[in-house]
Structure 1
Protein backbone atom coordinates (compact mmCIF):
# COMPACT_ATOMS: atom_id res chain seq x y z
CA UNK A 1 0.00 0.00 0.00
CA UNK A 2 1.43 3.40 -1.04
CA UNK A 3 0.92 6.86 0.43
CA UNK A 4 -1.42 7.64 -2.48
CA UNK A 5 -3.85 5.04 -1.17
CA UNK A 6 -4.53 7.30 1.81
CA UNK A 7 -5.43 10.35 -0.31
CA UNK A 8 -9.22 10.90 -0.34
CA UNK A 9 -10.88 10.62 -3.75
CA UNK A 10 -11.81 14.35 -4.00
CA UNK A 11 -8.18 15.35 -3.43
CA UNK A 12 -7.01 12.75 -5.92
CA UNK A 13 -9.23 14.35 -8.53
CA UNK A 14 -8.23 17.87 -7.52
CA UNK A 15 -4.56 17.02 -7.99
CA UNK A 16 -5.29 14.86 -11.07
CA UNK A 17 -3.69 11.81 -9.53
CA UNK A 18 -3.95 8.77 -11.74
CA UNK A 19 -6.87 6.49 -11.10
CA UNK A 20 -6.69 2.70 -11.33
CA UNK A 21 -7.01 1.58 -14.94
CA UNK A 22 -10.20 -0.13 -15.99
CA UNK A 23 -10.62 -2.84 -18.56
CA UNK A 24 -12.59 -2.09 -21.67
CA UNK A 25 -12.86 0.94 -23.92
CA UNK A 26 -11.29 4.22 -22.74
CA UNK A 27 -13.82 6.59 -21.20
CA UNK A 28 -15.03 9.34 -23.54
CA UNK A 29 -15.33 11.69 -20.57
CA UNK A 30 -12.84 12.70 -17.91
CA UNK A 31 -12.65 15.16 -15.03
CA UNK A 32 -10.90 17.82 -17.14
CA UNK A 33 -13.71 17.85 -19.70
CA UNK A 34 -16.31 18.14 -16.94
CA UNK A 35 -14.46 21.06 -15.32
CA UNK A 36 -13.95 22.85 -18.64
CA UNK A 37 -17.66 22.58 -19.46
CA UNK A 38 -18.67 23.85 -16.02
CA UNK A 39 -16.25 26.80 -16.20
CA UNK A 40 -17.58 27.71 -19.65
CA UNK A 41 -21.12 27.78 -18.26
CA UNK A 42 -20.04 29.92 -15.28
CA UNK A 43 -18.24 32.37 -17.58
CA UNK A 44 -21.37 32.70 -19.69
CA UNK A 45 -24.23 32.43 -17.19
CA UNK A 46 -22.65 32.99 -13.79
CA UNK A 47 -22.27 30.48 -11.00
CA UNK A 48 -26.03 30.02 -10.76
CA UNK A 49 -26.03 28.44 -14.20
CA UNK A 50 -23.72 25.64 -13.09
CA UNK A 51 -25.95 22.69 -12.34
CA UNK A 52 -25.13 19.05 -12.94
CA UNK A 53 -27.95 18.72 -15.51
CA UNK A 54 -26.66 21.79 -17.39
CA UNK A 55 -23.09 20.49 -17.37
CA UNK A 56 -24.22 17.06 -18.53
CA UNK A 57 -26.34 18.58 -21.30
CA UNK A 58 -23.43 20.68 -22.58
CA UNK A 59 -21.32 17.53 -22.77
CA UNK A 60 -24.06 15.44 -24.37
CA UNK A 61 -24.11 12.91 -21.56
CA UNK A 62 -26.46 11.88 -18.78
CA UNK A 63 -26.29 13.49 -15.36
CA UNK A 64 -25.49 10.17 -13.72
CA UNK A 65 -22.40 9.75 -15.90
CA UNK A 66 -20.83 12.81 -14.24
CA UNK A 67 -20.64 10.97 -10.94
CA UNK A 68 -17.98 8.71 -12.39
CA UNK A 69 -15.69 11.76 -12.43
CA UNK A 70 -16.92 14.01 -9.60
CA UNK A 71 -18.40 13.14 -6.25
CA UNK A 72 -20.90 15.99 -5.89
CA UNK A 73 -21.88 19.49 -6.98
CA UNK A 74 -19.78 20.90 -4.14
CA UNK A 75 -16.74 19.00 -5.34
CA UNK A 76 -17.31 20.30 -8.87
CA UNK A 77 -17.28 23.88 -7.57
CA UNK A 78 -13.99 23.20 -5.78
CA UNK A 79 -12.48 21.75 -8.93
CA UNK A 80 -13.74 24.71 -10.99
CA UNK A 81 -12.38 27.30 -8.57
CA UNK A 82 -8.90 25.82 -8.63
CA UNK A 83 -8.82 25.41 -12.42
CA UNK A 84 -10.30 28.82 -13.25
CA UNK A 85 -8.08 30.90 -10.97
CA UNK A 86 -5.02 30.55 -13.17
CA UNK A 87 -1.38 30.40 -12.12
CA UNK A 88 0.14 33.32 -10.19
CA UNK A 89 2.62 35.58 -11.98
CA UNK A 90 6.31 35.65 -11.18
CA UNK A 91 6.60 38.02 -8.23
CA UNK A 92 10.32 37.77 -7.49
CA UNK A 93 11.37 40.77 -5.39
CA UNK A 94 13.44 41.49 -2.30
CA UNK A 95 10.84 44.01 -1.07
CA UNK A 96 8.14 42.16 0.89
CA UNK A 97 5.75 45.09 0.67
CA UNK A 98 6.09 45.45 -3.08
CA UNK A 99 5.70 41.70 -3.41
CA UNK A 100 2.55 41.44 -1.32
CA UNK A 101 1.09 44.49 -3.05
CA UNK A 102 1.69 42.90 -6.45
CA UNK A 103 0.32 39.58 -5.15
CA UNK A 104 -2.89 41.28 -4.03
CA UNK A 105 -3.37 43.15 -7.29
CA UNK A 106 -2.61 40.00 -9.31
CA UNK A 107 -5.18 37.98 -7.38
CA UNK A 108 -7.70 40.80 -7.82
CA UNK A 109 -7.10 40.79 -11.59
CA UNK A 110 -7.68 37.02 -11.69
CA UNK A 111 -11.00 37.37 -9.85
CA UNK A 112 -12.06 40.35 -11.96
CA UNK A 113 -11.73 38.19 -15.06
CA UNK A 114 -14.12 35.72 -13.47
CA UNK A 115 -16.18 37.45 -10.74
CA UNK A 116 -18.18 34.26 -10.18
CA UNK A 117 -15.12 32.89 -8.37
CA UNK A 118 -15.91 35.21 -5.45
CA UNK A 119 -19.24 33.41 -5.01
CA UNK A 120 -17.87 29.90 -4.76
CA UNK A 121 -18.57 28.71 -1.19
CA UNK A 122 -15.45 28.33 0.93
CA UNK A 123 -15.85 25.06 2.78
CA UNK A 124 -12.18 24.29 3.41
CA UNK A 125 -8.71 25.89 3.29
CA UNK A 126 -6.94 26.10 -0.10
CA UNK A 127 -6.12 22.57 -1.22
CA UNK A 128 -5.80 22.51 -5.00
CA UNK A 129 -2.53 22.86 -6.93
CA UNK A 130 -3.36 26.30 -8.33
CA UNK A 131 -4.44 27.67 -4.96
CA UNK A 132 -1.33 26.19 -3.37
CA UNK A 133 0.76 27.90 -6.07
CA UNK A 134 -0.70 31.27 -5.02
CA UNK A 135 0.00 30.40 -1.39
CA UNK A 136 3.56 29.47 -2.27
CA UNK A 137 4.06 32.79 -4.03
CA UNK A 138 2.93 34.78 -0.98
CA UNK A 139 4.91 32.64 1.46
CA UNK A 140 8.02 33.04 -0.69
CA UNK A 141 7.63 36.82 -0.52
CA UNK A 142 7.25 36.69 3.26
CA UNK A 143 10.16 34.27 3.67
CA UNK A 144 12.43 37.32 3.68
CA UNK A 145 10.79 38.53 6.90
CA UNK A 146 10.99 37.21 10.45
CA UNK A 147 7.27 36.59 10.67
CA UNK A 148 6.41 33.22 12.15
CA UNK A 149 4.18 30.74 10.35
CA UNK A 150 1.01 31.80 12.16
CA UNK A 151 1.49 35.43 11.15
CA UNK A 152 2.38 34.52 7.57
CA UNK A 153 -0.81 32.50 7.23
CA UNK A 154 -2.74 35.32 8.89
CA UNK A 155 -1.39 37.88 6.42
CA UNK A 156 -2.14 35.59 3.48
CA UNK A 157 -5.71 35.00 4.68
CA UNK A 158 -6.30 38.68 5.41
CA UNK A 159 -5.18 39.87 1.99
CA UNK A 160 -7.03 37.06 0.18
CA UNK A 161 -10.23 37.82 2.08
CA UNK A 162 -9.90 41.52 1.33
CA UNK A 163 -9.39 40.82 -2.38
CA UNK A 164 -12.42 38.53 -2.59
CA UNK A 165 -14.68 40.94 -0.72
CA UNK A 166 -13.48 43.93 -2.73
CA UNK A 167 -14.10 42.27 -6.10
CA UNK A 168 -17.46 40.89 -5.04
CA UNK A 169 -18.64 44.18 -3.59
CA UNK A 170 -17.56 46.15 -6.65
CA UNK A 171 -19.33 43.65 -8.92
CA UNK A 172 -22.54 43.85 -6.91
CA UNK A 173 -22.49 47.66 -6.78
CA UNK A 174 -21.89 47.81 -10.52
CA UNK A 175 -24.84 45.49 -11.16
CA UNK A 176 -27.02 47.57 -8.85
CA UNK A 177 -26.33 50.92 -10.48
CA UNK A 178 -28.70 52.46 -12.97
CA UNK A 179 -27.83 51.71 -16.58
CA UNK A 180 -25.21 54.11 -17.86
CA UNK A 181 -24.40 55.51 -14.42
CA UNK A 182 -20.72 55.58 -13.54
CA UNK A 183 -19.23 54.98 -10.10
CA UNK A 184 -18.33 58.64 -9.56
CA UNK A 185 -21.88 59.78 -10.27
CA UNK A 186 -23.34 57.00 -8.11
CA UNK A 187 -21.11 57.97 -5.16
CA UNK A 188 -21.96 61.65 -5.58
CA UNK A 189 -25.71 60.95 -5.65
CA UNK A 190 -25.36 58.63 -2.63
CA UNK A 191 -23.51 61.26 -0.63
CA UNK A 192 -25.96 64.02 -1.48
CA UNK A 193 -28.99 61.89 -0.63
CA UNK A 194 -27.58 60.73 2.71
CA UNK A 195 -26.48 64.26 3.60
CA UNK A 196 -30.17 65.22 3.61
CA UNK A 197 -31.20 62.26 5.75
CA UNK A 198 -28.42 61.86 8.32
CA UNK A 199 -29.00 64.32 11.15
CA UNK A 200 -25.95 65.64 13.07
CA UNK A 201 -27.80 65.36 16.38
CA UNK A 202 -28.19 61.60 15.93
CA UNK A 203 -25.14 60.66 13.83
CA UNK A 204 -22.62 63.48 14.27
CA UNK A 205 -19.55 61.88 12.70
CA UNK A 206 -21.47 60.29 9.84
CA UNK A 207 -23.14 63.62 9.14
CA UNK A 208 -19.70 65.24 8.94
CA UNK A 209 -18.64 62.54 6.50
CA UNK A 210 -21.54 63.15 4.13
CA UNK A 211 -21.11 66.92 4.32
CA UNK A 212 -17.40 66.62 3.44
CA UNK A 213 -15.93 66.89 -0.04
CA UNK A 214 -15.23 63.14 -0.22
CA UNK A 215 -18.23 62.28 -2.38
CA UNK A 216 -17.73 65.31 -4.59
CA UNK A 217 -14.00 64.71 -5.13
CA UNK A 218 -13.90 62.50 -8.25
CA UNK A 219 -14.86 64.31 -11.47
CA UNK A 220 -17.88 62.70 -13.08
CA UNK A 221 -15.76 61.68 -16.07
CA UNK A 222 -13.25 59.72 -13.97
CA UNK A 223 -13.20 56.13 -15.31
CA UNK A 224 -14.75 53.56 -12.99
CA UNK A 225 -11.58 51.46 -13.16
CA UNK A 226 -9.48 54.37 -11.89
CA UNK A 227 -11.75 54.91 -8.89
CA UNK A 228 -11.92 51.18 -8.15
CA UNK A 229 -8.13 50.86 -8.34
CA UNK A 230 -7.68 53.77 -5.93
CA UNK A 231 -10.23 52.38 -3.48
CA UNK A 232 -8.63 48.94 -3.57
CA UNK A 233 -5.11 50.32 -3.21
CA UNK A 234 -6.11 52.37 -0.16
CA UNK A 235 -7.46 49.34 1.69
CA UNK A 236 -4.51 47.18 0.70
CA UNK A 237 -2.00 49.77 1.89
CA UNK A 238 -3.75 49.93 5.26
CA UNK A 239 -3.36 46.16 5.57
CA UNK A 240 0.30 46.37 4.57
CA UNK A 241 0.85 49.13 7.14
CA UNK A 242 -0.29 46.67 9.79
CA UNK A 243 1.98 43.96 8.39
CA UNK A 244 4.90 46.42 8.53
CA UNK A 245 4.28 47.04 12.22
CA UNK A 246 4.18 43.30 12.92
CA UNK A 247 7.42 42.76 10.99
CA UNK A 248 9.11 45.54 12.97
CA UNK A 249 8.08 43.81 16.21
CA UNK A 250 9.42 40.51 14.85
CA UNK A 251 12.77 42.11 13.98
CA UNK A 252 13.23 43.75 17.37
Structure 2
Protein backbone atom coordinates (compact mmCIF):
# COMPACT_ATOMS: atom_id res chain seq x y z
CA UNK A 1 0.00 0.00 0.00
CA UNK A 2 1.12 3.57 -0.69
CA UNK A 3 0.17 6.83 0.94
CA UNK A 4 -0.61 8.49 -2.36
CA UNK A 5 -3.75 10.65 -2.16
CA UNK A 6 -6.96 9.33 -3.66
CA UNK A 7 -7.77 11.10 -6.95
CA UNK A 8 -10.33 13.84 -6.44
CA UNK A 9 -12.99 12.32 -8.70
CA UNK A 10 -12.65 8.92 -7.02
CA UNK A 11 -12.89 10.54 -3.62
CA UNK A 12 -16.15 12.17 -4.65
CA UNK A 13 -17.53 8.83 -5.85
CA UNK A 14 -16.86 7.35 -2.41
CA UNK A 15 -17.94 10.57 -0.65
CA UNK A 16 -14.60 11.02 1.07
CA UNK A 17 -14.43 14.27 3.05
CA UNK A 18 -12.54 17.12 1.45
CA UNK A 19 -9.88 17.86 4.05
CA UNK A 20 -9.35 21.33 2.61
CA UNK A 21 -12.92 22.21 3.55
CA UNK A 22 -13.34 20.38 6.85
CA UNK A 23 -15.16 22.51 9.39
CA UNK A 24 -16.57 24.82 6.74
CA UNK A 25 -20.32 24.25 6.34
CA UNK A 26 -21.40 24.23 2.73
CA UNK A 27 -24.80 24.95 1.28
CA UNK A 28 -24.05 22.51 -1.52
CA UNK A 29 -22.36 19.12 -1.56
CA UNK A 30 -21.75 16.24 -3.96
CA UNK A 31 -24.72 14.22 -2.72
CA UNK A 32 -27.18 17.06 -3.24
CA UNK A 33 -25.86 17.82 -6.73
CA UNK A 34 -25.97 14.21 -7.87
CA UNK A 35 -29.44 13.55 -6.47
CA UNK A 36 -30.76 16.62 -8.26
CA UNK A 37 -29.19 15.40 -11.50
CA UNK A 38 -30.72 11.92 -11.10
CA UNK A 39 -34.14 13.42 -10.44
CA UNK A 40 -33.77 15.58 -13.55
CA UNK A 41 -32.77 12.59 -15.70
CA UNK A 42 -35.64 10.49 -14.35
CA UNK A 43 -38.09 13.26 -15.20
CA UNK A 44 -36.78 14.64 -18.49
CA UNK A 45 -34.18 12.18 -19.79
CA UNK A 46 -30.40 12.26 -19.82
CA UNK A 47 -30.38 14.86 -22.60
CA UNK A 48 -31.80 17.40 -20.15
CA UNK A 49 -28.91 16.96 -17.72
CA UNK A 50 -26.35 19.73 -18.06
CA UNK A 51 -24.31 21.41 -15.37
CA UNK A 52 -26.18 24.62 -16.08
CA UNK A 53 -29.59 22.98 -15.72
CA UNK A 54 -28.64 21.10 -12.55
CA UNK A 55 -27.27 24.30 -11.03
CA UNK A 56 -30.45 26.17 -11.95
CA UNK A 57 -32.58 23.43 -10.35
CA UNK A 58 -30.62 23.85 -7.13
CA UNK A 59 -30.66 27.65 -7.24
CA UNK A 60 -26.92 28.01 -7.80
CA UNK A 61 -24.64 29.07 -10.63
CA UNK A 62 -22.84 26.60 -12.87
CA UNK A 63 -19.51 27.73 -11.39
CA UNK A 64 -20.71 26.72 -7.92
CA UNK A 65 -21.09 23.13 -9.12
CA UNK A 66 -17.44 22.87 -10.13
CA UNK A 67 -16.45 22.77 -6.46
CA UNK A 68 -18.33 19.46 -6.20
CA UNK A 69 -18.34 17.98 -9.74
CA UNK A 70 -15.40 18.43 -12.04
CA UNK A 71 -17.11 17.85 -15.38
CA UNK A 72 -20.26 16.57 -17.08
CA UNK A 73 -18.64 13.16 -17.61
CA UNK A 74 -17.82 12.95 -13.91
CA UNK A 75 -21.41 13.91 -13.11
CA UNK A 76 -22.64 11.04 -15.29
CA UNK A 77 -20.42 8.58 -13.43
CA UNK A 78 -21.66 9.90 -10.08
CA UNK A 79 -25.27 9.67 -11.27
CA UNK A 80 -24.81 6.13 -12.54
CA UNK A 81 -23.37 4.90 -9.26
CA UNK A 82 -26.07 6.58 -7.19
CA UNK A 83 -28.93 5.32 -9.38
CA UNK A 84 -27.62 1.74 -9.28
CA UNK A 85 -28.27 1.57 -5.56
CA UNK A 86 -27.43 -1.45 -3.45
CA UNK A 87 -26.86 -4.80 -5.14
CA UNK A 88 -29.10 -7.78 -4.33
CA UNK A 89 -28.01 -10.35 -1.79
CA UNK A 90 -26.47 -13.25 -3.68
CA UNK A 91 -25.60 -16.65 -2.25
CA UNK A 92 -22.11 -18.06 -2.73
CA UNK A 93 -23.14 -21.63 -1.86
CA UNK A 94 -21.83 -24.37 -4.17
CA UNK A 95 -24.15 -25.25 -7.02
CA UNK A 96 -26.13 -21.99 -6.78
CA UNK A 97 -24.19 -19.89 -9.30
CA UNK A 98 -26.95 -20.03 -11.95
CA UNK A 99 -29.66 -18.94 -9.52
CA UNK A 100 -27.40 -16.16 -8.29
CA UNK A 101 -26.49 -14.80 -11.71
CA UNK A 102 -30.11 -15.02 -12.83
CA UNK A 103 -31.26 -13.04 -9.80
CA UNK A 104 -28.47 -10.50 -10.34
CA UNK A 105 -29.43 -10.00 -13.99
CA UNK A 106 -33.13 -9.56 -13.26
CA UNK A 107 -32.38 -7.12 -10.43
CA UNK A 108 -30.13 -5.04 -12.69
CA UNK A 109 -32.78 -5.01 -15.40
CA UNK A 110 -35.32 -3.62 -12.94
CA UNK A 111 -32.93 -0.81 -12.03
CA UNK A 112 -32.36 0.03 -15.70
CA UNK A 113 -36.09 0.03 -16.43
CA UNK A 114 -36.67 2.32 -13.44
CA UNK A 115 -33.97 4.70 -14.68
CA UNK A 116 -34.12 4.40 -18.51
CA UNK A 117 -31.29 6.89 -19.01
CA UNK A 118 -28.80 4.60 -17.23
CA UNK A 119 -28.48 2.23 -20.19
CA UNK A 120 -27.88 5.22 -22.47
CA UNK A 121 -24.77 6.41 -20.63
CA UNK A 122 -21.46 5.61 -22.32
CA UNK A 123 -19.19 3.16 -20.51
CA UNK A 124 -15.99 5.06 -19.88
CA UNK A 125 -14.13 2.47 -17.81
CA UNK A 126 -14.40 -0.31 -15.23
CA UNK A 127 -16.63 0.06 -12.14
CA UNK A 128 -15.18 2.45 -9.55
CA UNK A 129 -17.97 3.67 -7.28
CA UNK A 130 -19.23 1.94 -4.11
CA UNK A 131 -22.52 0.82 -5.65
CA UNK A 132 -20.98 -0.40 -8.91
CA UNK A 133 -18.33 -2.28 -6.93
CA UNK A 134 -21.13 -3.73 -4.82
CA UNK A 135 -22.86 -5.07 -7.95
CA UNK A 136 -19.56 -6.51 -9.20
CA UNK A 137 -18.95 -8.18 -5.85
CA UNK A 138 -22.46 -9.66 -5.83
CA UNK A 139 -22.01 -11.22 -9.28
CA UNK A 140 -18.59 -12.58 -8.35
CA UNK A 141 -20.11 -13.99 -5.16
CA UNK A 142 -22.45 -16.09 -7.32
CA UNK A 143 -19.39 -17.59 -9.01
CA UNK A 144 -17.26 -17.89 -5.86
CA UNK A 145 -17.77 -21.64 -5.37
CA UNK A 146 -16.82 -22.48 -8.95
CA UNK A 147 -13.28 -23.29 -10.01
CA UNK A 148 -13.21 -20.60 -12.69
CA UNK A 149 -10.23 -18.25 -12.73
CA UNK A 150 -10.64 -14.53 -12.14
CA UNK A 151 -10.39 -13.56 -15.79
CA UNK A 152 -13.19 -15.97 -16.71
CA UNK A 153 -15.38 -14.79 -13.83
CA UNK A 154 -14.95 -11.15 -14.83
CA UNK A 155 -15.65 -12.03 -18.47
CA UNK A 156 -18.89 -13.77 -17.47
CA UNK A 157 -20.01 -10.79 -15.38
CA UNK A 158 -19.27 -8.44 -18.28
CA UNK A 159 -21.21 -10.66 -20.69
CA UNK A 160 -24.28 -10.81 -18.46
CA UNK A 161 -24.08 -7.08 -17.73
CA UNK A 162 -23.86 -6.28 -21.44
CA UNK A 163 -26.87 -8.45 -22.21
CA UNK A 164 -28.94 -6.76 -19.51
CA UNK A 165 -27.97 -3.27 -20.65
CA UNK A 166 -28.49 -3.89 -24.35
CA UNK A 167 -31.82 -5.62 -23.75
CA UNK A 168 -32.99 -2.74 -21.57
CA UNK A 169 -31.83 -0.17 -24.12
CA UNK A 170 -33.68 -1.97 -26.93
CA UNK A 171 -36.84 -2.08 -24.80
CA UNK A 172 -36.57 1.68 -24.22
CA UNK A 173 -35.94 2.47 -27.88
CA UNK A 174 -38.93 0.42 -29.02
CA UNK A 175 -41.10 2.06 -26.37
CA UNK A 176 -39.94 5.50 -27.56
CA UNK A 177 -40.81 4.56 -31.14
CA UNK A 178 -44.35 3.62 -30.06
CA UNK A 179 -44.99 6.90 -28.26
CA UNK A 180 -48.06 8.60 -29.63
CA UNK A 181 -49.26 5.54 -31.56
CA UNK A 182 -51.43 4.11 -28.80
CA UNK A 183 -50.10 0.65 -29.64
CA UNK A 184 -48.50 -1.93 -27.39
CA UNK A 185 -45.40 -3.81 -28.54
CA UNK A 186 -47.46 -6.94 -29.27
CA UNK A 187 -49.72 -4.88 -31.58
CA UNK A 188 -46.73 -3.42 -33.40
CA UNK A 189 -45.22 -6.86 -33.90
CA UNK A 190 -48.51 -8.26 -35.19
CA UNK A 191 -48.89 -5.41 -37.67
CA UNK A 192 -45.27 -5.83 -38.73
CA UNK A 193 -45.68 -9.56 -39.32
CA UNK A 194 -48.93 -9.11 -41.27
CA UNK A 195 -47.40 -6.46 -43.56
CA UNK A 196 -44.23 -8.43 -44.24
CA UNK A 197 -46.18 -11.66 -44.81
CA UNK A 198 -47.82 -9.95 -47.80
CA UNK A 199 -44.55 -8.64 -49.19
CA UNK A 200 -41.98 -11.41 -48.64
CA UNK A 201 -41.85 -13.90 -51.50
CA UNK A 202 -41.48 -17.51 -50.21
CA UNK A 203 -39.55 -18.41 -53.35
CA UNK A 204 -36.92 -15.73 -52.68
CA UNK A 205 -36.88 -15.69 -48.86
CA UNK A 206 -38.32 -19.07 -47.80
CA UNK A 207 -37.33 -18.97 -44.14
CA UNK A 208 -38.30 -15.33 -43.63
CA UNK A 209 -41.67 -15.97 -45.30
CA UNK A 210 -42.29 -18.95 -43.03
CA UNK A 211 -41.37 -16.81 -40.02
CA UNK A 212 -43.83 -14.04 -40.88
CA UNK A 213 -46.58 -16.58 -41.49
CA UNK A 214 -45.94 -18.32 -38.17
CA UNK A 215 -47.94 -17.93 -34.93
CA UNK A 216 -45.07 -15.85 -33.54
CA UNK A 217 -46.37 -12.82 -35.43
CA UNK A 218 -50.02 -13.83 -35.67
CA UNK A 219 -50.38 -14.10 -31.89
CA UNK A 220 -47.31 -12.43 -30.36
CA UNK A 221 -46.81 -12.56 -26.57
CA UNK A 222 -47.95 -9.58 -24.51
CA UNK A 223 -44.39 -8.75 -23.46
CA UNK A 224 -42.04 -10.03 -26.18
CA UNK A 225 -39.18 -7.90 -24.83
CA UNK A 226 -39.26 -9.77 -21.52
CA UNK A 227 -39.31 -13.12 -23.33
CA UNK A 228 -36.35 -12.12 -25.48
CA UNK A 229 -34.43 -10.98 -22.40
CA UNK A 230 -35.05 -14.25 -20.56
CA UNK A 231 -34.15 -16.37 -23.60
CA UNK A 232 -30.89 -14.50 -24.12
CA UNK A 233 -30.00 -14.73 -20.44
CA UNK A 234 -30.67 -18.45 -20.24
CA UNK A 235 -28.57 -19.09 -23.36
CA UNK A 236 -25.71 -17.17 -21.75
CA UNK A 237 -26.11 -19.17 -18.54
CA UNK A 238 -26.07 -22.40 -20.59
CA UNK A 239 -22.72 -21.29 -21.96
CA UNK A 240 -21.47 -20.53 -18.45
CA UNK A 241 -22.62 -24.00 -17.37
CA UNK A 242 -20.44 -25.53 -20.07
CA UNK A 243 -17.49 -23.48 -18.82
CA UNK A 244 -18.14 -24.32 -15.18
CA UNK A 245 -18.30 -27.98 -16.08
CA UNK A 246 -21.95 -28.85 -15.74
CA UNK A 247 -22.57 -27.40 -12.27
CA UNK A 248 -26.31 -26.79 -11.86
Is the shorter-chain TM-score for this pair beyond 0.5, marking a shared fold? yes
CA shift, 1:93, in A, is 5.7
- Report 1:26-45 matches (<5 A): 26-45=25-44
| Pair 1:84-2:83 in alignment | yes
Partner Cα separation in structure 2 for residue 172 and residue 108 of structure 1: 15
Could you tell me which residue of structure 1 aligns to residue 227 of structure 2?
230
- Report 1:76-225 matches (<5 A): 76-92=75-91, 94=93, 95-177=96-178, 179-218=181-220, 222=222, 224=223
Larger mean CA deviation between 189-198 and 45-54 belongs to: 189-198
Cα RMSD of the aligned pairs, angstroms, is 2.0
Q: Which consecutive segments of 4 or more residues in structure 1 shift more than 6 A?
A: none
Could you tell me which residue of structure 2 aligns to residue 3 of structure 1?
3
| Pair 1:48-2:50 in alignment | no
Partner Cα separation in structure 2 for residue 18 and residue 107 of structure 1: 29
CA shift, 1:24, in A, is 7.7
List runs of 5+ in structure 2 lacking aligned partners. none
Partner Cα separation in structure 1 for residue 196 and residue 152 of structure 2: 39
Partner Cα separation in structure 1 for residue 218 and residue 225 of structure 2: 16
SS in 2 for 1:180: coil
Partner Cα separation in structure 2 for residue 201 and residue 150 of structure 1: 48
List runs of 5+ in structure 1 lacking aligned partners. none
Could you tell me which residue of structure 1 aligns to residue 11 of structure 2?
12
CA shift, 1:208, in A, is 2.5
| Pair 1:241-2:234 in alignment | no
Partner Cα separation in structure 2 for residue 84 and residue 105 of structure 1: 16
Partner Cα separation in structure 2 for residue 96 and residue 12 of structure 1: 33
CA shift, 1:146, in A, is 1.3
Partner Cα separation in structure 1 for residue 129 and residue 189 of structure 2: 39
CA shift, 1:4, in A, is 5.1
Larger mean CA deviation between 234-243 and 193-202 belongs to: 193-202
* Change beyond 3 A, Cα 1:24–1:161: closer
TM-score by length of structure 2 reads 0.91
Larger mean CA deviation between 8-17 and 50-59 belongs to: 8-17
SS in 1 for 2:202: coil
How many pairs are equivalent?
244
Larger mean CA deviation between 167-176 and 188-197 belongs to: 188-197
Partner Cα separation in structure 1 for residue 21 and residue 104 of structure 2: 42
SS in 1 for 2:145: coil
SS in 2 for 1:240: helix
